[in-house]
Chains A and B, each alone.
Chain A
Amino acid sequence: MSGETVVAEPARKSTLSVSLTSYGGVPSDFPVKLEVFDAAFRPVVSRWAGVMEQVEFDVSPGVYIVRASVASGGRVEEAVDLTDGNNHCNLNLRTLSPHETQEWAYFSKAQEPPGESSLQNQTFRGAWIRLWKRQENGTWTIESFPQVANGESHADGVSFSVLMPDQNLYAVQIQGPEIASKIVAVPSTYSVMVLLRPVAEANSDLHPLDVIVSSEDWSMESFLSYMRSGVTEKADHFMNRDGGIAEQMLYEKISNPVRAAVGGYYLLNIGDLERIHGWAENLSNWFQWMPDGPIIRAWQLLLEAGRDPALQTDHFQQARERLLEATRRGFPLFTEGLRRLRDGLLLLDRLSEQHDTDVRRALLKVGAYTASADWSSTATTFLAAHPDPDDQTVTPEQVDQGARYYIYDVPISDMVAAGAVMDGQQIVAPGPKGNVFAKVTLNGLQLADGQAFQSFGQMQQRIPGIMPWQDWTIADNNLPLHTALKGLLITEE
């Protein structure tokens, strides 16, 4: 990465050496914006760097503020005095994430810092996740999670990665006995990362579980976050370095249509229709599973019509067809697409004075997504019990029985029903004063002193100093508890 921006030209030079420290949970080329200010926050010089880079700046002796910021909005700042012989500044990005395995999320996706809420809370007991796939005929089916890896479970978040089997429209659903169902689009790239974490503070207005889904394309994901947050100056720098990465993204549409869609949205936002060329049409036609292609093409047509009235009749009709097609394909991968889809249909609805019943119908359908959408998320996210409220092919019973995986704290009754543990088995939990023995019953765990718990997480929460339940064992076979949960818990899938 390069592209240094010098704002002030210093007279005498000192070398300010800046190094970055992270957990190593993201690749070394993960983009970080480095900025140097004087003591009064006047900008001196800035550049983009990789998360493991050591960068040197030539500046005059003096006091400086050095800032490293990432796409999530997280930033680390230090003040350094070059006049006392110290010319090195280390910025510790580890402070942004509680764990190495969650670093990718705290670097790339906007969210509050970890708060007091814990997955051990009763709210999350029995919460689960499942995967949906949209079939060619437009119906949605429940799928098993393909190849879950790197699963790590903490009270402040559960993270894992998934190797997706194909390019299609997928979504994850999260729900629990005390948690409303949430649907999140999955970017259909080779490897997808997921972080499930409790929102920082309990708030009855909010869904209690944050669901962060990301590809491992950190350039693309960082750019999406800058675009969503409104900090378009950083999105601009990002997309225009190296000769114009936005256009390259569209070139790559064959191998990576998801990346191409992101590039297309950016070019729409800056109004650079010429650089879109005919790629939006190809993206729309070649990838029938993806709604984002026709959305981008529709907006290209609408904006072209705005610039040349002679094109209006033809372009409005084509845009209409594209937006209706996008609605038929499901919901877009990205929130940017959802906004464009809604706005495009609104425009057509108003232009037709609400007489176009197909557009009206599409608007109502999209309204089911937008009414509860999380507009701060880069991936399309909304509250619903099913990815398609109109899909009647899957019965509620089938939905109830379809494959699902617990997120963190599994009710003992469910574990007994699934055969993961058996009524009467002894569980050994290392505690501060020796092992604690708990007996499995049909409804929970029972200690010798009469204490009863509904789940391992509840027991861990109520007995101070006890080891995390993932380290407990089943007495009669010495099997680690987390192994017994294989197939039941998403991190043990």
Chain B
Amino acid sequence: MTLVFDRIDDGSGQTHALVIGVGGYKHLFGGSDPKNQVIPQIGVLKQLTTAPRSAIAFAEFLIETQDQWRSPLGSVELLYSTPPEDDLQVPADFDAQGAAFAEIQEAYDAWRERCDKHQDNIAVLYFCGHGVEKEEQYLLAEDFGKSPGNPWLGSFAIDSTQLAFWACKAQTQCFFIDACREITDSMKEYDITVLPLETPNFSQPEADSTMIMKATAGRETALGPKKGVAYCTQALIRGFRGDAADQDGSGWVVRSGIISDRITRILRRVKNDQAFRQRCPCEVTKSTELLRLPDGVIPKLWLEVVCEPEEATSRARLSCTQLTLPGQPAAQQHTSVGEPIQKEVEAGTYVARSEFDDGEFLGAHDMYPASPPDFKIRLESVPT
């Protein structure tokens, strides 16, 4: 394991993150030390190129935004494993290997202790890798399947872990789990015993604001591009970068409840066929501010301008300009002829206009509010 970011100060509220990406499964098919698994369907779980890349991307994002968090970033602990012969290029500071169960347990204990130092701490746990589900979701460590007769020794129960973590002093707790939740036929036949990383301790009151986001609905698989970042992780990072931001009068802020509310829409921008309501179930007990965009930074959104009916678009000259306030520099005008305007722009108010040189339709113009993550302007085009 590696502390890839260390600015720990136990005397003040900080954000502490544990980031785990398990892509190399030693004892499964294609691993560096494959074993004949007793339980059917376990041995054929694949090596994952997505998981380590997703974990590294999330860790890099955390470090990049270190001072934007409501409680500034204090630490990032990173564990990952890669499949054999993966050509993953890793940042110099991130050269950490190893996500076996013992390493995960040790990292969790250290992270838990850091989070427990101050009630203003924000605890962030991120996991990407294989997962299965029976009574709850079990996440698989790098050495899962080491003992074929009891492969579950290399796994841990995440829902129980999250419940136990409530007792941590950190009052804001975020768990992001980008893993499958399949239940196999063979799993149904076995009485599986998987322990959490921490045993529930009800000697402390519950945390003020908790969030757990999972990348899949029950019985489904999480997805991502080969040698890329998992779709849900991409959406989560986009959300933090601004797609899930709202203006609070002082600036643009990302709250846990807004991430939960918008994740499906954001996922649609990442990969359209992955954007359905049950894709990323979230449980939020109380929405709270997590991160604030830097002063003066306005979140971007995907803006599209078309005519309605859309067939008028091919005959139109379209333009779109952001409304600026007095004292602000003039905004850039976006134009298009015969095609929709499709651009990444800043959130704000836009004046959109259509003109028809052939006179087939009446031109139109109006003002439109455009907020993250996307907005489509439909200019009503009346035939002449």
Taking beta carbons and an 8 Å cutoff, which residues of A are in contact with B? 7-8, 37, 39-43, 63, 65, 67, 73, 77-81, 110-112, 199-201, 203, 205-206, 229-233, 269-271, 302-303, 305-307, 309, 312, 316, 339, 342-343, 346-347, 349-351, 354, 363-364, 366-367, 370-376, 383
How far, in angstroms, from A372 to B188 measured CA to CA in the complex?
13
Interface assignment of B206: CB less than 8 Å from any CB of chain A: yes
Whether A231 contacts B196 by the Cβ 8 Å rule is: no
A111 vs chain B, min Cβ distance (A): 6
B60 neighbours in A (Cβ, 8 Å): none
The 5 A-B pairs with the shortest beta carbon distances in the complex, nearest first, are A230-B260, A230-B284, A79-B367, A375-B281, A65-B369
Whether B218 contacts A79 by the Cβ 8 Å rule is: no
The residue that A41 contacts in the complex, of B218, B282, B287, B347, with Cβ under 8 A, is: B347
The residue that B204 contacts in the complex, of A112, A306, A343, A364, with Cβ under 8 A, is: A306
Whether B249 contacts A309 by the Cβ 8 Å rule is: no
Interface assignment of B283: CB less than 8 Å from any CB of chain A: yes
B150 neighbours in A (Cβ, 8 Å): none
Whether A42 contacts B369 by the Cβ 8 Å rule is: no
A412 vs chain B, min Cβ distance (A): 33
How far, in angstroms, from A343 to B196 measured CA to CA in the complex?
13
Whether B134 contacts A367 by the Cβ 8 Å rule is: yes
Whether B273 contacts A203 by the Cβ 8 Å rule is: yes
Whether B135 contacts A41 by the Cβ 8 Å rule is: no
How far, in angstroms, from A349 to B211 measured CA to CA in the complex?
22
A10 vs chain B, min Cβ distance (A): 14
Q: Given known contacts A42-B247, A63-B367, A79-B366, what 9 new A-B pairs fall within 8 Å (CB)?
A: A40-B247, A43-B249, A79-B349, A112-B277, A229-B261, A232-B257, A306-B203, A349-B160, A376-B278
A100 vs chain B, min Cβ distance (A): 22
Whether B283 contacts A339 by the Cβ 8 Å rule is: yes
Interface assignment of B358: CB less than 8 Å from any CB of chain A: no
How far, in angstroms, from A380 to B344 measured CA to CA in the complex?
39
Q: Taking A111-B277, A270-B286 as contacts, is the C-beta distance between A67 and B249 under 8 angstroms?
A: no
**Residue ID in chain A nearest B268 by CB atoms:** A112
> Which of the four size classes fits the interface of chain B?
35 or more
How far, in angstroms, from A312 to B159 measured CA to CA in the complex?
22
A362 vs chain B, min Cβ distance (A): 10
Number of A-B residue pairs having CB atoms within 8 Å of each other in the complex: 162
B164 vs chain A, min Cβ distance (A): 7
Interface assignment of B276: CB less than 8 Å from any CB of chain A: yes
B351 vs chain A, min Cβ distance (A): 9
A457 vs chain B, min Cβ distance (A): 24
How far, in angstroms, from A414 to B136 measured CA to CA in the complex?
41
How far, in angstroms, from A200 to B285 measured CA to CA in the complex?
29
Can you give 19 A-B contacts (C-beta < 8 A)?
A: A7-B249, A8-B249, A41-B246, A65-B349, A79-B367, A201-B273, A230-B287, A231-B287, A270-B286, A271-B205, A303-B205, A306-B167, A306-B203, A342-B159, A346-B160, A367-B136, A371-B218, A372-B219, A375-B217
Whether B203 contacts A309 by the Cβ 8 Å rule is: yes
Whether B200 contacts A363 by the Cβ 8 Å rule is: no
Binary CB contact string for chain B from 342 to 384 against chain A (1 if under 8 A, 0 otherwise): 0000011100000000000000001111010000000000000
Q: Taking A230-B261, A346-B160, A371-B218 as contacts, is the C-beta distance between A302 and B247 under 8 angstroms?
A: no
B117 vs chain A, min Cβ distance (A): 20
Taking beta carbons and an 8 Å cutoff, which residues of B are in contact with A? 133-136, 159-160, 163-164, 167, 183, 193, 196, 199-200, 202-206, 208, 211, 217-221, 246-249, 255-261, 264, 273, 276-278, 281-287, 298, 323, 325, 347-349, 366-369, 371
B99 vs chain A, min Cβ distance (A): 23
How far, in angstroms, from A354 to B167 measured CA to CA in the complex?
20
B242 vs chain A, min Cβ distance (A): 12
The residue that A206 contacts in the complex, of B133, B160, B276, with Cβ under 8 A, is: B276
**Residue ID in chain A nearest B252 by CB atoms:** A41
The residue that B278 contacts in the complex, of A81, A230, A302, A374, with Cβ under 8 A, is: A374
Q: Which of A80, A230, A233, A305 has the largest number of chain B CB atoms within 10 A?
A: A230
Whether B257 contacts A233 by the Cβ 8 Å rule is: yes
Whether B349 contacts A346 by the Cβ 8 Å rule is: no
Whether A229 contacts B260 by the Cβ 8 Å rule is: yes
Whether A347 contacts B163 by the Cβ 8 Å rule is: yes
A231 neighbours in B (Cβ, 8 Å): 257-258, 260-261, 287
Whether A367 contacts B135 by the Cβ 8 Å rule is: yes
B199 neighbours in A (Cβ, 8 Å): 350-351
**Residue ID in chain A nearest B366 by CB atoms:** A79
The residue that B136 contacts in the complex, of A232, A342, A373, with Cβ under 8 A, is: A342
A366 neighbours in B (Cβ, 8 Å): 135
How far, in angstroms, from A170 to B259 measured CA to CA in the complex?
34
B135 neighbours in A (Cβ, 8 Å): 342, 346, 349, 363-364, 366-367, 370
B202 neighbours in A (Cβ, 8 Å): 302, 305-306, 312, 316, 347, 351
How far, in angstroms, from A201 to B258 measured CA to CA in the complex?
24
How far, in angstroms, from A475 to B371 measured CA to CA in the complex?
56
Whether B287 contacts A375 by the Cβ 8 Å rule is: no
B249 neighbours in A (Cβ, 8 Å): 7-8, 42-43
A80 neighbours in B (Cβ, 8 Å): 367
Whether B369 contacts A306 by the Cβ 8 Å rule is: no
How far, in angstroms, from A83 to B325 measured CA to CA in the complex?
13
Whether A354 contacts B217 by the Cβ 8 Å rule is: no
**Residue ID in chain A nearest B262 by CB atoms:** A73
Whether A37 contacts B369 by the Cβ 8 Å rule is: yes
How far, in angstroms, from A231 to B1 measured CA to CA in the complex?
36
**Residue ID in chain A nearest B263 by CB atoms:** A230
A270 neighbours in B (Cβ, 8 Å): 286
